[in-house]
Each structure stands twice: as structure tokens, then as C-alpha cells.
Amino acid sequence: MAKSYHWYNGAVIVQVYTIQSPEEAVAVANLGVDHMGVTPANPGLPGRGLPGEIDIATTRAIFAAVGERVKKVALSVDENLDEIVNLVEALHPDILHLCGDIRAVPVQAVAALRSRIPGTPIMQAIPVRGWEAVEQAVAFQEVAEYLILDSKSDQVTGIGATGVPHDWSISREIVKKSRIPVILAGGLSPANVAEAIRQVRPWGVDSLTHTNLPLGGGKFRKDLDRVRQFVVAVRAAE
């Protein structure tokens, strides 16, 4: 049975990625989102070409625009701990989301990172490709404050941004075993998020692909109507 702390004041946390402008950030916050994710390029380094990647100045403007209304989450796929620390020191996010290769940044590396960024909670992404994800999640909960369970594709850098669900029975088992909050991600949309909540019973849910409005050329902006529908569906499922 899931522990009670998986619930946030009786409500499921809604996390939405990836915000690209202060105006978009304010609009999304107004829809009742709890966590707002951004994909910033690392300071002083070329961008990774990740979906919705923005520069440091734009990220700071987004964070300033929403203030304390939402938890501000910064994503990193980096494998070099110095680069991750530089990102945190440049932005001071409420939460650092690690979604790089867990073989390159294993539990021991995250433990070392934890000691270098005291006061910044870590959200560790777990690639749910099979039942080995349960063991991985149990290990990483010792060094992180949150787990995010996401789909993984070899065609996408890092963990997530695939737009497809994974096996929710595996995620449900992780929720049962976890002592820390678990966010479910991977192909969630207004159409399937309620069923995902019923099956997995996560602390939170995350949406990127299915709350986007494609603009062509790999670019997108948030579809505010679909974000609203996503929030409504989550609240109805609670």
C-alpha cells in the first residue's frame, strides 16, 4: 500500500515541461500547475539540442516571472558533476531533475553531487524499460528527494521526452516500495492521466509531449488548452 506522504495536501502534484518564456510560464502557472520544468543549456557550454532548450538568461526570467507560485524544476542530462553544479549555482532551482544516463551518473555519483549542492532537492529519473527499474529506483531513493519514472528511447538524449507510456505495473511496484515521493511521467495526456493515477497511485504526474502544440521543425510551445485539460483530468481522478 502506498504511504500517505505520496499525497500533497490530498492532491496529486501536476508537473509540466518544458516552459520556454516568462509569458508562457505565467500562463501555465495560472492553470494550477504545481511544478514547472525547464530545460536550460549549461552556462558557458554549447546547447545539447534538447527539446525546448533555453539559455540561462531566459531561465532566470522565467523563474522571476513565477516567483514562489510554483516549484521551479531545472533538467540536466549532463554526466559531468562540475557542469551540473555550475547549472545549479547559476539558477538556484527549487528542484534539480537528473535525467542523464544512470550508468554514467550512478548512485555513488549522485551521492557526491548531493554533498556539493546542499539545500537543492534532487529528482532522479528512472528509465522504466523492464523490472530492473524497481531495483534501480530503490537504490536511487537513498540519494534523491524525488523519483520520476519515465519512458526511455535510444533516439532521445536522456530519460524521457518520448511521448509514449511504459508498463505502469512496474511503476506501481516502485511506488509501493519507495520511501520518497514518486512522479509518474511518460506519454501522459489529458486522455490517459486519470487511469494512470488510478493504476499507479503516484505522488505526482508529469506531462511534456502531449501538452505541446507543435510548430514544425521540432519546435513547440505549450498548448494551454491541453494543459488545462490535463490539470482538470488529474483533479477529477484524485
Give 3-state DSSP helix, strand, coil % of the chain, rounded to 5. 35, 20, 45
Give the residue numbers spanning the domain of 48.
Answer: 4-237
Determine the pLDDT at residue 160: 67
pLDDT by residue (tens digit) across 72-131?
999 999 999 999 999 999 999 999 999 999 999 999 999 999 999 999 999 999 999 899
Average pLDDT over residues 139-155: 89
Determine the pLDDT at residue 2: 33
> Any idea which of 25-34, 79-88, 130-139, 157-166 has the lowest mean pLDDT?
157-166
The Cα–Cα gap between 19 and 133 comes to 28
Determine the pLDDT at residue 87: 97
CA atoms within 13 A on the CB side of 143: 22
**pLDDT surpasses 90 at 24:** yes
If one counts the domains in the chain, the total is 1
Determine the pLDDT at residue 39: 96
The Cα–Cα gap between 191 and 57 comes to 35
pTM, 2 dp: 0.92
CATH number at residue 168: 3.20.20.70
Quote the cell numbers at residue 121. 532537492
The Cα–Cα gap between 151 and 127 comes to 6
For residue 18, cis peptide bond before it (omega within 30 degrees of 0): yes
**pLDDT surpasses 80 at 134:** yes
Q: Are 73 and 97 in contact (CB under 8 A)?
A: yes
- Top-confidence residue, 48 or 86: 86
